[in-house]
Structures are given as structure tokens and as C-alpha cells.
Chain A
Amino acid sequence: MTAPLLEVRNLRTRFRTERGDLDAVRDVSFSLRAGETLGLVGESGSGKSVTGFSIMGLIDPPGQVVGGEILFRGQDLTKLDEEAMRSLRGNRIAMVFQDPMMTLNPVLRISTQMIETVRAHETIDDTTARIRARDLLGTMGIPSPEARLDAYPHQLSGGMRQRVAIAIALINKPDLIIADEPTTALDVSIQAQILAEVQQLTRESGTALLWITHDLSVIAGIADEIAVMYAGRIVEQGGVDAVLDQPSHPYTAGLIGSLPGASAPGAMLVQIPGTTPDMVDPPQGCAFGPRCARRESDCVRQPGFTDGAHRLRCFHPLSGPASAAEVSA
């Protein structure tokens, strides 16, 4: 087996707030191989976006990566200086953001934004960069790409804008793309088109994809592996079919159960009781404990991560792999 492209080990990202330290990401580990797609799933505030930003080195004060390693092609990104990190960003690692209305600069033409991305990392003349931009827009399924290059973002529809944003991320042929809910703001039909295009492009180029979302249906369609995050920790991880067909962590089961399609027509939608925990002062032990129907007295201790292809952090899993052992929090 080849070495993983990206390996995150025991990542911890902390935000200093007036109320105390908030560990938005606590002890997150996963690895990603070239050409592979990992879906990072969780509710708002689960730390999934912060994980993405930590990998990009875009955590600003008062936030800080305080522990762990982010190995990208064997190199620890947490130890790189800003200039070395900048040369990786947009070049080897690219990011696609949630809202295409906001991520394209409203005052610059599409061509300017694409060409500058190329030229930030490569000595190349404008004409060559422009041709590359035009070809890529065509590949992304944008009709008459030459004309679109001279457009301003507000002249394109939401779907078009997100295609452009993805094209900008792809333009330097990165090894890894971190996509932070890029299709959430789009219609379902356009979402499906874009997913298919991204899937095809990454498969052809061998680009690894870290797809951050709260939408399980998107993950089911695009990911090879899935990692479910809750309160800053990965609580369940495994192959996408294994986890979605046979969720073992009560939280994963709850997420799948609360999809509207899972309940009978006309019936009340199933909810996970309670709310996400206060991250400055999280509950002792398993953070999902207070909301969990399977909670028992030992859940005030912190469950460790089990081994194997389908791993989880739970003393009382629903089924499948063995239950976790305790670790010190």
C-alpha cells in the first residue's frame, strides 16, 4: 500500500474565548489516499469546518492549532511557515467554500480571478493561463466559456458560480481538495450535476477529496469513506456503505434516523433530543451521552476509538464492531 497523501494525527484546534478555551477540534485523526474521497459529516459546530481550515492553515487568532500533526505528502503542515504554506494553498491543496455568491470577489472578472490563481504559483504568461482557465470552465460544464471569462460574478447563476469556484480550485491540479459544503446553497438538480462532474474530474486526475457536509445524501453519492464528527471528535468512521447501512454509534443512527425520508409519510419527524453541547464546558466523558438513549453509567468516561475498518467511539454501540475501551480524556 502506498503512503497516504494526507494524514491527520490527533489534531486539536483551540479558540481562546472570553469564557475560556474552546477546543473546536479535539483529537481528530484520519488519513486520505490519492484519488480517495472522505466525507466529513456533522452538525453545525461539530468542528468539521474547523478541521478543514486547520489543514489549510487558515485558522486565525484567537484560534490556533495546539496539538497533533497534519502530514501532507510526509510533511507536517503545522510546522510550515506562512510563506511555505501559501505556496501549497491553491496549488497542492485547494479549498472550495460553501457559498459561491460570497467566495468570488464581486469586483473582479472571472478571468482575473482564475488567471491570478495560476500566476500566484507558476511563472506563466496571461494568454496561456487564460487558455487553461477557458478549457477548465468548459470541462466543468460551463457553456461558451470564452464569454463567461469576461463576466463578473453577479452575471452568473448560483450553479455557474459554484462551477467557477470549483474550477478555480482545480486550476493548478491540486493533490487534495477540501470542499466545505460546496453544494449546500444549490438546487438539488444542480447539486447532482456538480457532484457528478467533480467526481469524474477527481477520478481522472487522482485528486483526493475531503468533502465536508452535513448532508448524508451527498456523502452517500460521492464518498468512499465517511467520518462522523460530534463535538470536535470523530465518533464513527468507516466505508460509506458500512456506516450508512449499519450505523453503530447512536449519534450516526440518530442522524440517519432524522432524515425526512426515514420516517413514515405523515408521521412526526424523528429528532435527536437535546442540543449540541457547550464546547467551552463539554459534558464529561462521551459528549453525546446527555442526548443518548443508550447511555449508561460508564458513559461519563471518555470512550477510545476502536480499531479496524469500521471504527467508533462508543461503549454501547448499536451493532457491529466491538465496543470501545476507555481512554483518558
Chain B
Amino acid sequence: MTTVPAAASARRPSSSALRRFLRAPSAWIGLGLMTLLVIGAVFAPQIAPQNPFDLAAIDVLDARMTPGSVSSGGDITYLLGTDGQGRDLFSAILYGLRTSLTVGVGSAVLAGIIGILGGLIDALIMRLVDLLMSLPSILIALLMLALLGKGIGNVVLTLVLLEWAYYARTARAQALVERKRDYFEAARGLGLPTSRILLRHVLPNCLPPLLVIAALQVARAITLEATLSFLGLGAPVTQPSLGLLIANGFQFMLSGEYWISFFPGLTLLTAIVAINLVGDRLREVLDPRALK
């Protein structure tokens, strides 16, 4: 009998997928940048030389200082300069990144859960998806935030509303394929409850394309949030995200104080590129056609 010895059972299919994932240099670059940014965001309070949201720590006299200059108090070197209020930009970017990533990941995950469940349940939900996807997302977002008001919570809510449809459509398409497989019929033949068949049998088999969607949706959410904040409808002034930081520096662009917008913008760009690199590589690895 050609059975694989049980000792080999420690090798899960996922570990070989990770190995394949790391075979491309773009994956390393993407994953490296992402790790760096995530560490920066998570440990912002420990890394940042200044708490940019603490008005007492900010010295207005230090406003619009060039990158590398030392604060008037002499205790901080402004690596990336300061903004119009005298905030250390490096600190502000770390904190802003924190806000942006929270919004991005939070809304992507929430939207994923709602969308996937909706997609598996199907029925009328798909017409709602069609409706949502036919409307320009930035327009709905502006409307929503104009009604709800600013704030991180409202931004996340708006983004979830806009994003779940993408998961729902993919989850449904994938579930339709999976339910034609024999294991689905077999699971029904065993009398398993429908919820269990959907969540335990169908969902794991649907996951690969949904993971790719999730990665790309994080990037999309961050961009959308930045756009909204730039337009003054996203994050509150007291808790600026990258988009708001860019907006704050915008007025100083033409007077040569480029760094106030430039560095937050560069961080945003890096984050989006990193996530997209990882997402693309995920798609290459998880696409069954690419395995051949």
C-alpha cells in the first residue's frame, strides 16, 4: 500500500505554501516593508520621540523646521522636520500610520466577516452587492461621513459598508464551485447541520482567493481613508491619520516646506506598495492554475 507514513503528517499543506510564497524576491520586499511599517505602527508610543497628540509636548515655536534640525528645547532631533504646529513629523507619521493601519485592517476584517457570511448565505444579498458596486465608493463615503460626522469609528463603519460587497461576491462565486464538489454532498449525506457544512467544510476551501481580496482591501481601505481625511471628513484633527497629515502640509507645499506632506505621503505609498506586493504574491501562490 502506498500510504504516506504518519510521521509525514506533520507537514501541513500550508507550510509548503509559505515556502512557495517566499520564493519570489518581491514577496521578501513586500513582507519586509510591511513588517517594518507594522512594527512602527504598533510600537509608535515606544519609538516616537514625541507624543504628537499631546498638545503640551508640542512647541509652536518649532513649527515648520527642516528635517534634521534640533528642537528649541534641545532634547529632540526632528528627523523628518516639523509641521505647521511644531509637531515632530516622524512621530506624527508613526501615530498616523497606526490610525491608518487600524482603520484599514479593522474595516477589511469586519467587511470580510460580513461579506463572507453574506456570500455563503446568498439569496437577495447579491442584488444589494450589485447595487453597492455600481455606485462610486468615494461618493457614498462622503455622504455617509457627512451624515455620521468625523471620527475613526465612523470611518471604519463607512469602509465596512463599502468593502463587504467585494468579499461577498468572491465568497459566493467560490461557494458555488465548492458545493458542486462531492465532499459537500457527502457532508450533507452525513446529516451535518448546514451551519457546520458552510463554516467548517465550505469556508476553508474558499479561503485562498478571499485572503488575496483581504490583502488588497486593506490597501484600498487605507487609500480611501487617506482620501477622506485629506478632504477633511475622515480622522479627527486630534488623531491625524496619514491622509490628514498630508492635507495639513499641503498649504506649505509651494513655499518650499515639502517635507510636511512629502514624508507622510511616502509612508502611505510604501504601505500601499508593500501590501500590494504581498497580495500579488499571495494570488500567484494560491491560484490553483499557477501551481501546474
Taking the closest CB of chain B, its distance from the CB of A301, in whole angstroms, is 38
Chain A residues whose C-beta falls within 8 Å of the C-beta of B187 in the assembled complex:
105
Residues of B near A105 (CB, < 8 A) are 183, 187, 201, 204-205
Contact assessment for B191 and A156 in the assembled complex, using a CB-CB cutoff below 8 Å: no
Least Cβ–Cβ distance between A132 and chain B, in angstroms: 15
- Tell me whether A126 is interfacial, beta carbon within 8 Å: no
The A/B interface has a contact count, at CB < 8 Å, of 91
Which of A88, A98, A155 is within 8 Å of B191, CB to CB?
A88
Contact between chains at A120 and B182 (CB < 8 Å): no
* Band of interface residues on B: 20 to 34
Nearest CB of chain B from residue A103's CB, rounded to whole Å: 4
The answer to whether B9 touches A155 (Cβ under 8 A) is yes
A30 at the interface (CB under 8 A from B): no
Contact A94 B189 (CB under 8 A): yes
Q: How far apart are the CA atoms of A244 and B161 in the complex, in Å? A: 66
A150 and B6 contacting across the interface, CB-CB below 8 Å: yes
Q: Are A56 and B189 touching (Cβ within 8 A)?
A: yes
Residues of B within 8 A of A89 (CB): 188-191
Do B190 and A97 touch across chains, with their CB atoms under 8 A apart? no
Contacts of B196 on A, CB cut-off 8 Å? 116, 120
B contacts with A: majority SS: helix
Within the assembled complex, what's the spacing in Å between the Cα atoms of A85 and B185?
A: 14
A120 CB contact (under 8 Å) in B6, B181, B192, B205: B192
User: Are B201 and A120 in contact (CB-based, < 8 A)?
Assistant: no
Query: How long is the Cα–Cα vector from A151 to B3 in the complex, in angstroms?
Result: 11
Asked whether A117 is an interface residue with its Cβ less than 8 Å from the other chain, the reply is yes
A267 touches B (CB below 8 Å): no
Task: Check: A304 CB closer than 8 A to any chain B CB.
Answer: no
Chain B residues within 8 Å of A, Cβ to Cβ: 1-4, 6, 8-9, 12-13, 181-183, 185-193, 196, 200-201, 204-205
Q: List 27 A-B contacts (CB under 8 A).
A: A56-B189, A58-B185, A58-B189, A88-B191, A89-B189, A90-B192, A94-B189, A95-B186, A97-B186, A97-B189, A99-B182, A102-B182, A102-B183, A103-B183, A104-B186, A107-B205, A108-B204, A112-B200, A117-B192, A120-B190, A120-B191, A151-B4, A155-B3, A155-B4, A155-B8, A155-B9, A157-B3
Sample of 7 further A-B pairs with CB below 8 A, known A90-B192, A152-B9 = A103-B186, A105-B183, A107-B204, A117-B191, A120-B196, A152-B13, A168-B190
